[in-house]
């Protein structure tokens, strides 16, 4: 969801976003069959609102040539592949920069463009565990739990869009493009604000507290005789 989230945020703000899908099969989200609206996957439509679409085989000379032609007039390219994939296709930043020196190239990976895990794929579930989010989610004494939403995926898309907007401001001033680099692990770690502060101050990892806050109270859900109530003091 990270690349698509970045694209839909930019599209919602008025950018002309062209989504490139693979051949054959297109975006994997097209396979999320239920629920459907008018025979089309509802999750796919939600993630790709306000976008135009094109399917290309980037492993073929014709597909690569078409993408290079599009890049010449583009402000931004966002890719969500495993690290190094675009370079292997001959479509890495240096190759695209030669076509358009002002291009903003945004890469969203599992673990960043450098380091020991740079070549590994990533999933939201794995990033939540990797960053420690699953150790502080849920009730004390219970098994690790991931957030009910894809927090690392979606936050990576938000961070990517923020980085692109900063790079675009720079481009408007200088004409220069640059690389924007974020990852699912970055996005998950960024969500550990309070918990990271506690750990660095005490060298102690906070335990899960359910709906309660680790620093202030009352700030949680309480069961009453006729249901549940949230109280934030």
Q: Which residues are catalytic?
A: 153
Contact 22, 40 (CB under 8 A): no
> Burial level of 24, CB count in 10 A (0-12/13-18/19+)?
exposed
The answer to whether the Cα torsion of 180, 184, 186, 188 is positive or negative is: positive
Q: At what angle do helices 151-174 and 2-12 cross, to 10 degrees?
A: 50
The answer to whether the Cα torsion of 60, 7, 172, 181 is positive or negative is: negative
HSE value, Cβ hemisphere, 13 Å, CA-based, for 99: 23
Residue located via tokens 């699953």: 134
- Residue 19's closest CA among 39, 49, 46? 49
Please tell me the distance from the alpha carbon of residue 76 to that of residue 164, in angstroms, as a whole number. 8
> Burial level of 80, CB count in 10 A (0-12/13-18/19+)?
buried
């Amino acid at each position: 969801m990270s690349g698509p989230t970045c694209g839909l945020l930019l599209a919602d703000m008025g950018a002309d976003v062209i989504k490139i899908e693979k051949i054959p099969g297109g975006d994997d989200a097209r396979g999320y069959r239920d629920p459907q609206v008018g025979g089309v996957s509802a999750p796919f439509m939600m993630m790709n609102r306000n976008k135009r679409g094109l399917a290309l085989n980037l492993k073929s000379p014709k597909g690569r040539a078409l993408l290079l032609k599009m890049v010449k007039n583009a402000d931004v390219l966002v890719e969500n592949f495993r690290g190094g994939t675009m370079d292997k296709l001959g479509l890495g930043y240096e190759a695209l920069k030669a076509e358009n020196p002002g291009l903003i190239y945004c890469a969203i990976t599992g673990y960043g463009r450098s380091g020991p895990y740079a070549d590994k794929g990533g999933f939201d579930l794995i990033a939540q565990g990797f960053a420690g989010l699953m150790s502080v989610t849920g009730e004390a004494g219970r098994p690790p739990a991931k957030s009910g939403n894809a927090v690392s995926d979606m936050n990576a898309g938000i961070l990517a869009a923020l980085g692109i907007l900063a790079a675009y401001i720079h481009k408007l001033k200088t004409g220069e493009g640059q690389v924007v680099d974020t990852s699912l692990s970055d996005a998950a770690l960024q969500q550990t604000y309070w918990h990271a502060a506690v750990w660095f101050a005490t060298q102690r990892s906070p335990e899960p507290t359910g709906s309660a806050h680790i620093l202030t109270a009352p700030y949680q859900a309480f069961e009453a005789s006729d249901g549940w109530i949230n109280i934030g003091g």
